[in-house]
Amino acid sequence: MRNYLGTVKAVDESVGRVLQYLDDHGLTENTIVIYSSDQGFYLGEHGWYGKRWMSEESFRMPFLCRWPGVVQPDAPPE
């Protein structure tokens, strides 16, 4: 669990660094950033760990998109 959460934290920080680099170098306005991953991972929900069982948590999928002028920050999904 600790290793998995450490990996997720490192990915999150790395995405932040990429976005910050684009901002710092004036590349934000003409760069589309898309991040996605595979389906969710049980972290103890229902007493399970892993991805082998079908339930809502295992169907969720992260998807982030930064597309200036098209996708509004904090816009709810349609």
Return the HEC string of the chain: CHHHHHHHHHHHHHHHHHHHHHHHCCCHHHCCEEEECCCCCEECHHHCEECCCCCHHHHCCCEEEECCCCCCCCCCCC
Per-residue pLDDT of the chain (78 residues; tens, 9 = 90+): 788 788 888 988 999 999 999 999 999 999 999 988 776 666 766 776 666 666 666 666 778 889 988 988 776 666
Which residues have C-beta within 8 Å of that of residue 52, sequence separation ≥ 6? Answer: none
Q: Is residue 71 part of a domain?
A: no
pTM: 0.67
- Does residue 8 lie in a domain region? yes
Is 15 within a domain? yes
Segments forming the whole domain that contains residue 20: 2-66
Inter-residue contact 5 to 13 (CB < 8 Å): no
The total number of structural domains in the chain stands at 1
Residue 29, in any domain of the structure? yes
